[in-house]
Structure 1
Amino acid sequence: MDEVPVEKRPKYGLNIYGAIAVNPYKLTILCEEIGIRYHYIIVDHSNGEQKSPWFTKINPNGRLPAIVHVKDDGSSVSLWESAACLMYIASEFDQEHHVSYPTGSEEYWQMIAWLSWQISGQGPMMGQACHFLRYATESVPYGLKRYTAECRRLYHVLDVHLSSSPFVAGSRLTIADISIYIWALSAKWCGVDIEEFPAAKAWLDALSQRPSFQRGLNVPAPYPFTDLKVSNPKRAAFYRLVEKKGTKSVQKDTDKWAKNAGML
């Protein structure tokens, strides 16, 4: 990683590459919950740094978060995609299974099922709903309706499950809860009313009271997309700016790849 800027080179231990975006907060919450030290390295996605050659050596997909674990013997492991990072951190640092279960147990596979539900359903659907609500360059009513409805269906699934279980996988908090939590915390930003799903709302509120979650939500800066913050009229100008910048960024990326495919 010779081309990595000096201040962004991984240090000994666990390094989290992130920014003020939804998925990186999963990792800081996890690290705070299990009480491990980590180095947080900000990648400036406002200027496209996540697409730079040095970062795509860490994450070929050019997205956040990513991790680099520099081990005692000097070797290192680089990983990307939030679920893979969560699983790795739990495997390496959660030997007592504070937020996981022994590999192969029934509870372990339930945890993996809900983690898969999050990365294949909840996250992508909420991301698309958010796109059509906040960042689309033109009004697409069907797109907004389609993805918001699918989000509501997914939250109904979660709500029914949590009505008879304190956590999504067994009797304890796991990385699956953490992965689902940060998107549920962002429901209003994505066009979903979490109050419609009382069991999911109670679960969300209980997790939000955990000191570890509160600490994780403040790295590298206070998480800005909670329902409470999004609903605050005093912050309206800030969110209009976020939407404007987001729309510009999405349009630039879309045009680039459409042009390369001969569509423009």
Structure 2
Amino acid sequence: MGLTIYGVAASRAVRPLWAATELGIDFHHVPLPYQGGATRTPGFLAINPNGHVPVVVDARSEGDVVVWESMACALYIARHHGGADGASITPATPREDAEALRWSIWAVTETEADALTLLMHRMVMPEARRKPELADAAERRLAVPFRVIEQHLQRQQALGQTFLAAARFTVADVCVASVLNWTRASRTLMHAHPLTHDWIRRCVGRPAHHAVKAI
């Protein structure tokens, strides 16, 4: 029995890697790159026919459990390898579980594409290949979901809770911060949404995140 996580940390695999590291559980890491055809081999396609990382394979007594999609991987690890004790990243109540589910899916549907565009065309791509107009358009669109999360964090703060689902850091924060961290390339968004900016910095400043990025 054991947990295996496929994918390099410099990919969406950071989400399950971060969740597992926060929980302090043992796992086997296969740092499979997402470029160069490594995810298109017959062996890997037998695990994930979509040909993408991350993938989590959980060898259990009743048989292997295979999980695709980065958010699902992180949520699965938190739910089945953590304790719902109100201290770990695992949701401890139905409300916390609901927050983790809705915010993780929200991050993918409302922010991820534009966050990646912003990152690529403001920071990652060689300057000669960047298209500032694409980054600017993504930044304008992101202003809408940023208002949503800023307002949520304001409500959480009023309740004495400084994270998305609770007073403590949970898998909801793992999933959403892993996306919104890409938007720190936008000074405009960070300045206009100070609670969100502070929350992102606190999340990615955690020792577990630093440990994963060093893998």
TM-score by length of 2: 0.81
Q: 1:62 aligns with which of 51, 60, 63?
A: 51
Q: What is the aligned partner in structure 2 of residue 250 from structure 1?
A: none
- CA gap of 1:100–1:43, structure 2 versus 1, over 3 A, is same
Mark the runs of 5 or more structure 1 residues left unpaired by the alignment: 1-11, 220-264
For residues 94 and 121 of structure 1, what CA distance do their matches in structure 2 show?
Answer: 28
- CA gap of 1:140–1:171, structure 2 versus 1, over 3 A, is closer
Matching of residue 86 in structure 1 with residue 74 in structure 2: yes
Contact 1:22 1:182 in 2 (8 A): no
Q: What is the aligned partner in structure 1 of residue 147 from structure 2?
A: 156
- CA gap of 1:22–1:194, structure 2 versus 1, over 3 A, is farther
* Match runs of 1:200-219 below 5 Å: 200-219=196-215
Give the partner amino acid of 1:161. H
Give the partner amino acid of 1:48. G
Q: 1:178 aligns with which of 174, 185, 189?
A: 174
- CA gap of 1:56–1:138, structure 2 versus 1, over 3 A, is same
Q: Secondary structure at the match of 1:15?
A: strand
TM-superposed CA distance for 1:85, in Å, is 0.7
TM-superposed CA distance for 1:200, in Å, is 1.1
Contact 2:118 2:182 in 1 (8 A): no
* Match runs of 1:221-236 below 5 Å: none
Q: Secondary structure at the match of 1:45?
A: coil
Mark the runs of 5 or more structure 2 residues left unpaired by the alignment: 157-161
Contact 2:84 2:92 in 1 (8 A): no
For residues 31 and 120 of structure 1, what CA distance do their matches in structure 2 show?
Answer: 24
Contact 2:99 2:172 in 1 (8 A): no
For residues 151 and 127 of structure 1, what CA distance do their matches in structure 2 show?
Answer: 11
For residues 32 and 187 of structure 1, what CA distance do their matches in structure 2 show?
Answer: 23
User: Which structure has the larger Rg over C-alpha atoms?
Assistant: 1
Note the alpha carbon deviations across 1:99-151, whole angstroms, 9 max, x for none: 13246x2332122111111121222221244456548978583x444322122
Q: 1:100 aligns with which of 90, 95, 100?
A: 90
Q: RMSD value over aligned CA atoms?
A: 2.7
TM-superposed CA distance for 1:202, in Å, is 1.4
- CA gap of 1:192–1:16, structure 2 versus 1, over 3 A, is farther
Contact 2:116 2:182 in 1 (8 A): no
Identity score, percent: 23
- CA gap of 1:202–1:140, structure 2 versus 1, over 3 A, is closer
